[in-house]
Amino acid sequence: MYEEVTGSLVQSYNICKRQVWLMAHQIIPDQEHPYIEMGRLIDDISYDRDRKKINFENVVIDLVRNDNGNLLVGEIKKSSKAVESARLQLLFYLYKLKQSGIDAKGQLFFPDERKKIDVRLTSESEMEVVSAINEIRDIINMDKAPAFKKIPYCKNCGYKEFCLS
């Protein structure tokens, strides 16, 4: 067991299991990759009136806001293309908060698209999170990285050159 499940592992989980394993083993993607630089920048310059980057256990939350007395946590993304994996990531944060007795609402932010999506932790989505966490743990504990499989996502992935070299 190398490390606890984190938000970025949950996010990768829906896209590429190999990426989950590599990240968990700190084989992080090429930091000069334009999409990674772009992501860093978007995260940096958007919503700068809100509190940013809240560290909570092994979780880093992009944005925290007071929404009429309720706690609202947000995740900022470049595009809504991978909305499903972003949703699962945010659900994971909500789940972690709930475990510590904090009830929060979630919202996905896509500053480029001027779009927001509400995310709620229901009993159904909670099950989804728990099973994802368990499966991520199984992937991390694998001896070797899951074999490379080409998917459309590879085209813009920071691991592209690693996988294809």
Does residue 68 bind other proteins (CB under 8 A)?
Answer: no
Burial track 72-111 (b if 16+ CB lie within 10 A, e otherwise)? bbbbbbbeeebeebbbbbbbbbbbbbeeeeeebbbbbbbe
The owner of tokens 């700190």 is 26
The runs of H, that is alpha helices, within 46-145 are: 83-99, 123-140
Burial track 54-68 (b if 16+ CB lie within 10 A, e otherwise)? eeeeebebbbbeeee
Does residue 2 bind other proteins (CB under 8 A)?
Answer: yes
Query: Least separation, in Å, of the C-beta of 95 and other proteins?
Result: 27
Output 32 or 124, the one with its CB closest to other proteins: 32
Output 114 or 144, the one with its CB closest to other proteins: 144
Does residue 160 bind other proteins (CB under 8 A)?
Answer: yes
What residues from 3 to 62 belong to the interface with other proteins (CB under 8 A)? 25-28, 30-32
Output 34 or 102, the one with its CB closest to other proteins: 34
Does residue 71 bind other proteins (CB under 8 A)?
Answer: no
Does residue 153 bind other proteins (CB under 8 A)?
Answer: no
Q: How far apart are CA 162 and CA 165, in angstroms?
A: 6
Residue type at 4 in one-letter notation: E
Which chain residues interact with other proteins by CB under 8 A? 2, 25-28, 30-32, 144-145, 147, 160-162, 164-165
